[in-house]
């Protein structure tokens, strides 16, 4: 199969859908790769670099598009003024396209692609599930946009972001407010903190509070019980009462901060207006607003897409091409996302791809399949909520008992069976066994045995109580806390028996290493999220 990477013709777009490293990997996987001449100019990648990696160079756009079985792009296909033709018309019938498409906003484009009988995967429609993280181009680009937003804000602010004390006087650190703590927001928080600013952040989703605090930023909370988590982890539309309280908070913050970075978006809807003209008027002269939602209408009422405007002494930046302003880095990350998607469809590494519509990731990304519009995809069940449990057995709620089908078992047999399956039966059985053991075992044995049981119970319950989704970052903590067994060693270290004394000392030494190492690893993990 021949893969073609044409040059991007969208105004101001400098990114490219591949990189030299990815071209080399595609060639090694059995694909033939063709790159349009000059396609990598905006990302400072010359044609010769692609040739060295095994790609062929097409002389112009028309010959490049015509040669491709699989087309890789950044921006959706659009009308090419130089050729006087739409890019879709340059594709072979039955070809394959991977690109950003934005199907919810581009229904007419979907119809044109369907008429061409092509297959299209939209990089913006990759399901937001763990298995698809390596394909998530939205997160890759949002990460870059958040970083670049702080750089643009620093440029417009014309002052230090960090505080300084010099012989010439004291400079206060800049105060930065980040609205929306998704990928872009967290990247902005980390960058602003690393530059020395005082950072505050707000999000309607309560679960991001820990992430914000771990990056040493202040989390702004509303005394309002409403969860803003929507499908796929995005924010959702909030109630009128919540929005009123939220706007009051933003109005207060606008009078205090120097820089506001907004990232709030709701899938399939215009960007919510969070910063009003009145708030802009209340900000100090020289303040800056970076609106990352400008392409979808903007979070600020005064935002003008692709421009920097000055309203009442406040600079409002509405750039829609922030990832493109770091073209080399963006192209590298985007190319890796696309490569991972191609490898999902080419498990044999034989230069041929197969669109498996039974695969939830491929199905979610596919918006047109052989001329048939397949968007929107069916919802993906991320996983059932885990119920409280004890000893591995789920504890049923009253509603569970109502909903559960009742077996037609009569009389006392049903009651006995139900009791044996309850959590009380093993507890009573275990208690009787311990009572019987205590009647015949010496007192010294029961002391040791009690410490052993308590250690096992506490260590087991500490690990079991941690949500499975947190096991990876918290495993070092659970590992350290589970060293509660050190208590057993400490109770024996004063023993008069030299053998017990030595063994207890070894146990204390080993568990100390476990505890110190566990918390040390945890600290390193937390540092990864700090600026």
CA distance linking residue 112 with residue 99, whole number of Å:
15
Cα–Cα–Cα angle for 28, 29, 32, rounded to 5 degrees: 80
3-class SS of residue 389? strand
Query: Which residue in 157, 218, 227, 162 sits closest to 189, CA to CA?
Result: 218
184 SS3 class: helix
Tell me how far apart the alpha carbons of residues 268 and 3 are, in angstroms, rounded to a whole number: 31
Angle between helices 411-421 and 424-440 (to 10 degrees): 70
Catalytic site includes residue 133? yes
Based on the residue annotation, tell me whether 334 is a catalytic residue of this protein.
no
Q: 303 CB contacts (<8 Å, ≥6 apart)? A: 289, 291, 294, 309, 316, 318
* Active site annotation includes 231: no
Distance of alpha carbon 239 from alpha carbon 222, whole angstroms: 13
- What is the CA angle 227-228-229, rounded to 5? 95
Query: Cα(328)–Cα(339) distance, rounded to whole angstroms?
Result: 16
DSSP string, 133-173: GGG-HHHHHHHHHHHHHHHHHHHHH-S-SS-EEETTEEEPP
> Which tokens sit at 244?
């009123």
Q: Which of 51, 85, 128, 325 is catalytic?
A: 128
Annotated catalytic residue 128 = yes
From the number of C-beta atoms within 10 Å of its C-beta (0-12, 13-18, 19+), residue 39 rates as buried
In whole angstroms, give the CA distance from residue 227 to residue 78.
39
The distance of Cα 148 from the centroid of its chain, to the nearest Å, equals 18
Residue among 356, 349, 327, 331 at smallest CA distance from 25: 349
Instruction: Name the catalytic one among 69, 92, 194, 234.
Output: 234
The catalytic residue among 19, 121, 125, 139 is 139
Is 297 in contact with 270 (CB distance < 8 Å)?
A: yes
Catalytic residue selected from 111, 133, 231, 523 = 133
Catalytic residue among 15, 75, 125, 136, which?
136
Asked if 34 and 5 count as a contact pair (C-beta separation under 8 A), the reply is yes
Q: Is 169 exposed, middle or buried (CB count within 10 Å of its CB: 0-12, 13-18, 19+)?
A: exposed
DSSP three-state, residue 276: coil
Secondary structure of 483-505 in HEC code, one letter for each residue: HHHHHHHHHHCCCCCHHHHHHHH
List of residues 6+ apart from 442 with CB closer than 8 A: none
Mind telling me the catalytic residues?
128, 133, 136, 139, 234
């Amino acid at each position: 199969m021949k893969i073609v990477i044409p040059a991007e013709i969208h105004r101001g777009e400098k990114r490219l859908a591949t990189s030299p490293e990815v071209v080399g990997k595609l060639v090694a996987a059995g694909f033939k790769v063709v790159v349009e001449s000059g396609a990598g100019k905006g990302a400072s990648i010359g044609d010769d670099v692609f040739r060295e990696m095994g790609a062929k160079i097409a002389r112009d756009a028309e010959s490049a598009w015509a040669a491709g079985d699989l087309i890789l792009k950044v921006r959706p296909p659009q009308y090419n003024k130089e050729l006087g033709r739409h890019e879709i018309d340059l594709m072979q019938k039955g070809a394959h396209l991977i690109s950003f498409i934005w199907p919810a906003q581009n229904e007419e484009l979907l119809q044109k692609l369907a008429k061409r009988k092509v297959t299209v995967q939209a990089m913006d429609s990759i399901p937001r599930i763990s298995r698809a993280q390596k394909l998530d181009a939205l997160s890759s680009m949002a990460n870059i946009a958040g970083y670049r937003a702080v750089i643009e804000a620093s440029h417009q602010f014309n002052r230090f972001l960090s505080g300084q004390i010099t012989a010439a006087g004291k400079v206060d650190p800049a105060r930065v407010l980040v609205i929306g703590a998704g990928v872009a927001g967290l990247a902005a928080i980390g960058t602003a903190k690393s530059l020395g600013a005082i950072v505050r952040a707000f999000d309607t989703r309560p679960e991001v509070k820990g992430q914000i605090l771990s990056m040493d930023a202040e989390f702004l909370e509303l005394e309002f019980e409403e969860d803003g988590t929507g499908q796929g982890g995005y924010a959702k539309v909030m109630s009128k009462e919540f929005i009123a309280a939220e706007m009051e908070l933003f109005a207060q913050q606008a009078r205090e901060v120097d820089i506001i970075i907004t990232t709030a978006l709701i899938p399939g809807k215009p960007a919510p207006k969070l910063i009003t003209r009145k708030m802009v008027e209340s900000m100090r002269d020289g303040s800056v607003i970076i609106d990352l939602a400008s392409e979808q209408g903007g979070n600020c009422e005064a935002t003008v897409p692709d421009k920097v405007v000055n309203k009442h002494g406040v600079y409002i930046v509405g750039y829609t091409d922030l990832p493109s302003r770091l073209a080399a880095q963006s192209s590298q990350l985007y190319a890796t996302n696309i490569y991972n998607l191609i490898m999902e469809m080419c498990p044999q590494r034989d230069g041929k791809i197969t669109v498996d519509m039974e695969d939830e990731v491929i199905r979610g990304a596919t918006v047109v399949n052989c001329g048939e519009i397949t968007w929107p995809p069916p919802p993906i069940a991320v996983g059932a909520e885990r119920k409280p449990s004890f000893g591995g057995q789920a504890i049923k709620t009253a509603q569970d008992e109502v909903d559960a089908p009742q077996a037609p078992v009569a009389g006392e047999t049903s009651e006995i069976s139900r009791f044996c399956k309850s959590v009380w039966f093993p507890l009573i059985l275990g208690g009787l066994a311990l009572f019987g053991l205590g009647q015949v075992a010496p007192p010294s044995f029961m002391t040791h045995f009690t410490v052993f049981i308590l250690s096992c119970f506490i260590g087991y319950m500490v690990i079991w109580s941690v949500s499975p989704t947190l096991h990876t970052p918290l495993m070092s903590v659970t590992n350290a806390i589970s060293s509660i067994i050190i208590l057993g060693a400490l109770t024996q270290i004063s023993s008069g028996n030299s053998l017990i004394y030595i063994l207890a000392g070894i146990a204390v030494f080993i568990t100390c290493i476990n505890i110190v190492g566990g918390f040390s690893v945890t600290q390193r993990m937390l540092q990864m999220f700090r600026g």
